[in-house]
Structure 1
Amino acid sequence: MVKLIAVDLDGTLLNENNQVSNENLEAIKLAQTLGVEVVVATGRAYFDVKAIFKDTGLKTWIIGANGATIHQPNGELFHSVPINRVEALNILDWLEQEGFYYEVFSNDSIITPQNGRELLAIEMDRVTSGNPDVGIEQLKHAAEKQYSQTGFSFIHSCQDLAQTELNFYNILAFSFDEDKLKRGRAHFGEKTDLTIVSSAKHNFELEHRDASKGIALKILANKLNINIGATAAVGDSFNDLSMLGVAGRSAAMGNAPKEIKESCHEVTLSNVEDGVAHYIYSLIRDNSK
């Protein structure tokens, strides 16, 4: 019997308009009334998730920043694993030298460079002028989705953070330059004290090595006295693999890449077809048998 369901957000619970559909909302609330714990597990910051849920009446556990934070349904921080401050500043210094747009998830804001959006605009022009087959509208949509988050705070450079006491939970690097992304992934892939994942085509994300959705799911299941075998998880991207791998049951969204589908027990419908609701209802039916 499934007692806890972990649900990814972007590309999973959220539809093409970055909204939670009524069907998905009703399915989650039904699961909760039946005594099943629901946790949203996302690469987004906690406060950004709360803004998305503001008018839904939904209250769940939230695994944020790819597992670096866990917040209780009442909003209290239960668990966190920040990146070492010296390491974080070194990461940001390297990203600035390489000309990356980046975001740093802290306690109550998403910190990003003042010139970051200008950098991405320049990259868009360069990529589309060099490759006419690449659609500018698709790139603009990807950038606008990144900018649609809540809680941005702008800095001139990472040196502005050197004297602060902020916690740094997640560092996201974003670029439309594939070679630049490859260099970044290769550079940080050699770091044994970091976890590196990708949640979308144009990014990679860095957390403490002890932070991942899978680790956070284990911590939360233990907190709630739920055997990890009695958990289920659903997601669509590579940053979901750690939780899809540890959950007792796993489902890939219909819009997920082939590699994600092959790693899961089953495949549900896509995020524009209320795939989360479809999966939750199937779990509830199995629980009632």
Structure 2
Amino acid sequence: MVKLIAIDLDGTLLNERNEISNTNLESIKDAQANGVEVVIATGRAHFDVQSIFQATGISTWIIGANGATIHQPNGELFYSTPIDKEDSSKIFSWLEQENFYYEILSNQSIFSPKNGRDLLAVEIDRIISANKEVSTDDLHEAVNKQFSQTGITFMDTYHDLTELDIDFYNVLAFSFHEEKLGKGWEHFKQFEGLSIVKSAHHNFELEHRNASKGNALKMLTNKLNIDISNTAAVGDNYNDLSMLQLAGKSAAMGNAPSEIKESCNEITLSNTEDGVAHFIYSFI
């Protein structure tokens, strides 16, 4: 019997317009009405998730920053595991040296370089120069999605943050160039204090080595006294694997990569076809 469901956001609960459909919203309400604890598990900041749900009348536990934070339905912080300060400085310095667009998720804001759009515009121009027939609609849409998040604060350089007494939970590095992303992945996978995951085609994300959606889910079930066998999880990407492999019942979205699908008990419909609702109604 499912007593808790963990739901990813991007590519899962959110459709191609980055919205939650009425069908998915109603399925969440129905799950809660049937006594199922609903948890949003995402790489996003908790305040960004709260903004998305603000007009829905729904409040849930939020596993944010890929498991580095857990917030209660009332918004209070229950748990966090920030990146070590020494590691965070090395991350920011290297990404700036390599001309990456990046985002730093803190307990206050999502910090982003002021020249971020310019950096990505240069990458898009290089792609067009190499292949004049390529469509840039998807590229511009990906850029706009990054800048549509709630809570972004622009900075000149990461040095602006050195005097602030805040924790950093997640760093997202974004690029349209596969070789550039690969270079970053190879560089940061050597850091013993970090975990590195992909949540979309054009990024990689860094957290404390103990931060994962799976670890956060385990901690939350202990808090709520729910056996892990009585949990369900649904997601679409590699940062979801830890919770999908842990949950008693797991579903990959129809739009998920084959490796994610192979790791799950079942495959639901895509995020454009209300796959979350389809999964929820299979067990409530």
Report the TM-score, using the length of structure 2 for normalisation: 0.98
* Aligned pairs (5 A) from 1:144-155: 144-155=144-155
Match of 2:216 in 1: 216
Could you tell me which residue of structure 2 aligns to residue 4 of structure 1? 4
Deviation at 1:253, TM superposition (A): 0.4
Q: Deviations over 1:34-69 (max 9, x none)?
A: 111010000000000111111111100000000000
What is the aligned partner in structure 1 of residue 44 from structure 2? 44
User: Which residue is equivalent to 2:280?
Assistant: 280
Alignment partner, residue 136 of structure 1: 136
In the alignment, the residues of structure 2 paired with residue 87 and residue 110 of structure 1 have an alpha-carbon distance, to the nearest angstrom, of 18
Matches within 5 A, 1:37-186: 37-186=37-186
4+ aligned runs moved over 6 Å, structure 1: none
3-state DSSP class of the match of 2:282?
helix
Q: Secondary structure at the match of 1:170?
A: strand
Partner amino acid, structure 2, of 1:203: N
SS of 1:282's equivalent in the other structure is coil
Q: What is residue 271 of structure 1 aligned with on the other side?
A: 271
Contact 2:84 2:193 in 1 (8 A): no
Give SS of 2:281's match: helix
What TM-score comes out, normalization by structure 1 length?
0.97
Aligned-pair CA distance for 1:133: 4.8
Structure 2 equivalent of residue 287 of structure 1: none
Instruction: Determine the C-alpha separation between the residues in 2 that align with 1:190 and 1:128.
Output: 33
CA-atom RMSD, angstroms? 0.8
Letter aligned with residue 11 of structure 2: G
Percent identical across equivalent pairs? Answer: 65
CA deviation profile, 1:175-209 (whole Å, cap 9, x unmatched): 11111100000101111210100110100000000
SS of aligned partner of 2:89: helix
In 2, the alpha carbon distance for the partners of 1:81 and 1:133 equals 45
Distance in structure 1 (CA, Å) of the matches to 2:104 and 2:65: 10
One-letter identity of the residue aligned with 2:277: A
For 1:192 and 1:229, locate their aligned partners in 2 and report how far apart those are by CA, in whole Å. 31
- Following superposition, the deviation at residue 147 of structure 1 comes to 0.9
Counterparts of 1:150 and 1:237, CA distance in 2:
22
Query: Residues 132-161 of structure 1: CA distance to partner in whole angstroms, max 9, x if unpaired?
Result: 353211111111111110111111111111
* More off after superposition, 96-105 vs 134-143: 134-143
